Amino acid sequence: MRWIREHKMVSILIAVVVALCVIMLVSYETGGKSGTIGNATETAVTKAQSPLSNMEKSIKNSLRGIFKFKSIVSENEKLKDQVNDLQQQVIDLTLKKNELQELQQLSNALNYESISGNKKIVGASIISMDGSNWFNQFTIDRGTESGIQKDDVVVNGDGLVGRIAEAGTGWSKVISIIDESNNVSFMVSRDLSLIGIVSGDSNGSLSGFMIDNKAGIIKGDTLVTSSMGLYPEGIKIGKAVSVEYDSDTQLKTVKIEPSVSFKSLQKVAVIL
């Protein structure tokens, strides 16, 4: 024992060698099969590896989840962009369809000879109403830079709107036919010899009288502009809704429903 205490390192080496020899001998005797010691060792190793394996799987699943989430976010962004593009295409197609309808209506309204030749048409949008619930007077977004001048005629796809009262750069003021200060000479479309004068009443309606108090105008007749005065011939004004004889003035008076819906007016065209 004294020798072992004095030679600790040598004693440890000898003990290790002996232990290794015993393990080798046991392994040889069992033909390489795991014995009690081997089983214990493998069990310890397995238990140590199990949590590490579970941790590895958890990390892998987490990473897969992160990458999958990023992929979903990216796909959502792409889908949002596609939806926005489709919505814009729908808006563009709707605008084009509306523009085509407006052009078709305008073409029908301007189906008269005085527009042919050197006449030019400028489209414009209404940007403000001038102090009324009705479009008696309003401002459009085109002016002298487009060649618009005072007394140019204003129409839309349904018929006569009015005339230019004043124009500047980028704007023009329009007096509509429903304004009481605007007088328009008209003809009955079924008989162009029937002529009268119509003006606005500032309440969104039109009223007028026939030049000949015996003129055969009747309710339902369509009225168009005549060649007399400012407005070109043949632009639709409206429809007669009542015809009466005024004994005081000895005139045949007419109430007229405008062809143009002034409550929903948004765009007009100016005939230069």
What average pLDDT is seen over the chain? Answer: 77
Q: Rounded mean pLDDT of 232-259? A: 92
Return the percentage of the chain with pLDDT > 90, whole number.
36
Is 270 contained in some domain? yes
Task: Give the pLDDT confidence of 71-86 residue by residue, as tens digits.
Answer: 777 777 777 777 767 6
Q: What is the structure's pLDDT at 72? A: 77
pLDDT winner (highest mean) among 55-64, 84-93, 125-134, 136-145: 136-145
Of 153, 178, 157, the C-alpha closest to 111 is: 157
Q: Please give the share of the chain, as a percent, with pLDDT higher than 70.
A: 60
Please indicate, yes or no, if residue 88 is contained in any of the structural domains. Answer: no
CATH number of the domain that residue 125 is part of: 2.40.10.340
14: in domain? no
How many structural domains is the chain composed of? 1
Cα angle 213, 220, 252; round to 5: 15
Residue 159 in any domain: the answer is yes
Phi-psi region of 220 (alpha: psi -120 to 50; beta: other; left: phi over 0): left
Q: Is residue 205 very low, low, confident or very high in pLDDT (cuts 50, 70, 90)?
A: confident
In a domain, 261, yes or no: yes
57 in a domain, yes or no? no
Q: Is residue 17 part of a domain?
A: no
| Distance in angstroms (rounded) separating the CA atoms of residues 206 and 255 | 6
When pLDDT is averaged across residues 2-27 and rounded to a whole number, the result is 60
Domain extent for 168:
110-272
Q: Which amino acid is at 111?
A: N
Does residue 64 lie in a domain region? no
Using alpha carbons, list the distances in angstroms from residue 204 to 12, 24, 59.
Answer: 118, 116, 76
pLDDT digits (tens, 9 = 90+) for 30-81: 554 445 555 554 554 455 445 545 555 666 666 566 667 767 777 777 777 7
Residue with tokens 């699943």: 61
